[in-house]
């Protein structure tokens, strides 16, 4: 297939470009080179493919890129929690308006196959169970509790401690940050597009992606890159809260394979998939493992917290295995040594 890959010069996009080419697909690479993700001048070639330097919100540029294309893999987006509310227009513009422009252009050109980079952040606080009340949806964590070091959300009915559980794709969408809201909106736009055009959308809800080529320590970086950057400076990784936050870290090469699998499966209509390793770990464990692998100082647990962060979010990855034939191959414990010395993006 001839595939338009947006965000092709980004951390995940470069790995997806490589995986697509290795699978025999013809890649058209497009990237807007947003300053939140990139520094310097954009390259002319990405993974052996000429790069079209254009913003996905530029309808004319997207129309040109879609010429002769069979499918789109849409990675372009602003990621992370950002710096503050002043990022709101950029997030909505890049993620939602950009997706709307792309979908409209796809419809005009008769392109009916889309793989969308989504995120686990749309689940909000994830899934929990109360011993007395069964499955419950906790409220947003209260600042007074966080300041007092009570980081786990209580039962909304009896205030008792909750047990976190795995989230599957049928869980309600409850975004609790601007970024999360824009990713949920991307899914809704893509679903409406699929209904209107008869198109296929595979929305890949990435969990915590890490690996070679991650951007260095910025407000938009993933936590694994932030820890790596600190260790490179000879400083201890700084762990927020008590380090007990549970996450699923999935290697970028696995994410790239998932994109190829979703492209080739082309599920009918709109279908969401958790893309995760299935092996959760705590943020504190990730920091400690990286520190050992880098031979650096032990992590410092600060008790600090960020508005918009959630406590636990761990996926049930079975749907991707059953319907796409995708199962993550790399556990964080097995790949941490490689990641400790892998180059990061400047």
Residue 5 tokens read as: 């890959």
- Which residues pair with residue 227 across a beta bridge? none
Three-state SS for 62?
Answer: helix
CA separation, residue 61 to residues 55, 290, 318 (Å): 8, 41, 38
- 127-130, strands of its sheet edge to edge: 134-136, 127-130, 163-165
Structure tokens at 89: 């227009």
CA 35-37-41 angle, 5° bins: 55
Q: Which residues, including other chains, have CB under 8 Å from residue 310's CB and lie 6 or more apart?
A: 121, 124, 125, 126, 176, 245
Instruction: Tell me, yes or no, if 220 is annotated catalytic.
Output: no
Q: Which of 123, 128, 179, 273 is catalytic?
A: 179
Closest Cα partner for 169 from 319, 311, 325? 319
**Catalytic machinery residues:** 179
């Amino acid at each position: 297939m001839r595939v338009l890959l947006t965000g092709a010069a980004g951390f995940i996009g470069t790995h997806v470009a490589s995986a697509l080419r290795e699978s025999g697909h013809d890649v058209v690479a497009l990237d807007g080179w947003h300053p939140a993700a990139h520094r310097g001048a954009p390259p002319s070639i990405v993974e052996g493919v000429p790069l079209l330097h254009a913003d996905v919100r530029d309808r004319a540029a997207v129309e040109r890129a879609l010429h002769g294309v069979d499918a789109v893999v849409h990675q372009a987006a602003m990621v992370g929690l950002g710096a503050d509310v002043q990022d709101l227009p950029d997030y909505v513009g890049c993620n939602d308006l950009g997706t709307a422009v792309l979908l409209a252009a796809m419809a005009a050109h008769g392109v009916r196959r889309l793989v969308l980079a989504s995120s686990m952040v749309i689940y909000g606080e994830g899934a929990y169970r109360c011993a007395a009340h069964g499955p419950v949806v906790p409220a947003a964590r209260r600042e007074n509790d966080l300041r007092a070091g009570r980081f786990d959300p209580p039962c909304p009915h009896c205030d008792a401690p909750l047990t976190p559980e795995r989230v599957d794709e049928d869980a309600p969408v409850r975004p609790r940050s601007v970024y999360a809201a824009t990713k949920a909106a991307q899914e809704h736009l893509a679903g409406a597009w699929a209904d209107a055009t008869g198109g296929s959308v595979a929305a890949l809800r990435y969990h915590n992606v890490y690996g070679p080529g991650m951007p260095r320590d910025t407000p938009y970086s993933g936590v694994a890159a932030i820890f790596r950057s600190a260790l490179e400076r000879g400083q201890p990784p700084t762990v927020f809260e008590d380090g007990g936050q549970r996450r699923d870290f999935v290697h970028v090469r696995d994410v790239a394979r998932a994109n190829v699998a979703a492209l080739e499966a082309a599920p009918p209509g709109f279908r969401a998939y958790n893309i995760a390793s299935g092996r959760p770990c705590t943020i504190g464990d990730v920091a400690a493992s990286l520190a050992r692998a880098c031979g650096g100082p032990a992590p410092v647990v600060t008790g600090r917290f960020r508005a918009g962060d959630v406590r636990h979010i761990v996926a049930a990855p079975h749907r991707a295995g059953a319907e796409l034939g995708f199962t993550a191959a790399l556990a964080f414990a097995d790949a941490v040594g490689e990641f400790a010395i892998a180059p990061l993006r400047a």
